[in-house]
Amino acid sequence: MNFVENRVTPLCRRLEAEENATTIPALLAVNRSENQKSKIKNSAVGWFDLEALPIMQEALRKRLTSAKVGFDMGKPGAFASTLSNYLMTSSVKIIHELGRSGVESHILSASADLFVKGASQSLGIPASRLHGIEVRTRDGRLTEELVYPLTWNVGKLGRLKQIVSEIEHQPGGKRVFVLAGFGDSYSTDGPFLKFIATQSLPAGKPIAVFYDGSPEPPDYRGLFYHARHDATVGGK
């Protein structure tokens, strides 16, 4: 992948040179194939807590209720053999190439966490690095109680910061750099991509890539690299 070799890997090496040898090269925040879901057409982004709106909470509860039913029916077990065919080819290749370069990738998705983690085998990364919308469990059963921050809109940024903090507080005290991010919806990915793009790193510049041809909202104008991807792993 020329993008990884020419952009991400050199930046990773420069950061390593600036820091000590135990520094984690990067934390990649990736959004898993939002193209597979109905996109929100309104590209305006408000800087208020959208998660607190009753209509959003109700929509998310319905989404997770459907996910719970599917889980109880055993559908997640079919992910590796069926649903993985719909993963975007370019995203999978980038994740694998970054892994070979020593970059730790994390997936942030607005889908239910139990299904997002089902992609672990197909992507070849630990389930602990896949993060979706979570619900609380009670007596071994899923409930409809949402766990915040939700991995949607500003909640993705909140979860990204949590991940960074969790890694940095592990034994050894390694420093984490959020090196790059990918997304395809201004509504759900814009805030965390803007955070990545406007960081000040010890060396080099961060990279934020947006996969969509829709017009840039004013808040994000000129911040992201733009690309397109249409091919899926299974050619679906």
Nearest CA-CA partner of 57 in 65, 46, 68: 65
Q: Over range 87-106, report the average pLDDT.
A: 89
pLDDT at 172: 83
The pLDDT confidence band at residue 84, using thresholds 50, 70 and 90, is confident
What's the CATH architecture for 2-39+48-227? 3-Layer(aba) Sandwich (3.40)
Q: What is the DSSP letter of 42?
A: -
**Which of 49-63, 95-109, 129-143, 166-180 has the least mean pLDDT?**
49-63
The pLDDT confidence band at residue 201, using thresholds 50, 70 and 90, is very high
CA distances from 76 to 116, 233, 234 (A): 9, 18, 18
Q: Give the residue with greater pLDDT, 120 vs 194.
A: 194
pLDDT at 129: 94
The pLDDT confidence band at residue 167, using thresholds 50, 70 and 90, is very high
Q: Where are the domains of the chain?
A: 2-39+48-227
Q: What is the C-alpha separation between 146 and 68, in angstroms, rounded? A: 13
The pLDDT confidence band at residue 212, using thresholds 50, 70 and 90, is confident
Which residues, including other chains, have CB under 8 Å from residue 229's CB and lie 6 or more apart?
88, 89, 90, 91, 211
Q: Over range 150-175, report the average pLDDT.
A: 92
Instruction: Say if residue 100's pLDDT is above 60.
Output: yes
Q: How many CB atoms lie within 10 A of CB 104?
A: 18
pLDDT at 23: 38
Instruction: Say if residue 13's pLDDT is above 80.
Output: no
Q: Provide, rounded to the nearest whole percent, the portion of the chain with pLDDT above 90.
A: 39
pLDDT at 69: 53
Q: What is the identity of the amino acid at 6?
A: N
Which residues, including other chains, have CB under 8 Å from residue 136's CB and lie 6 or more apart?
143, 145, 146, 147
pLDDT at 146: 93
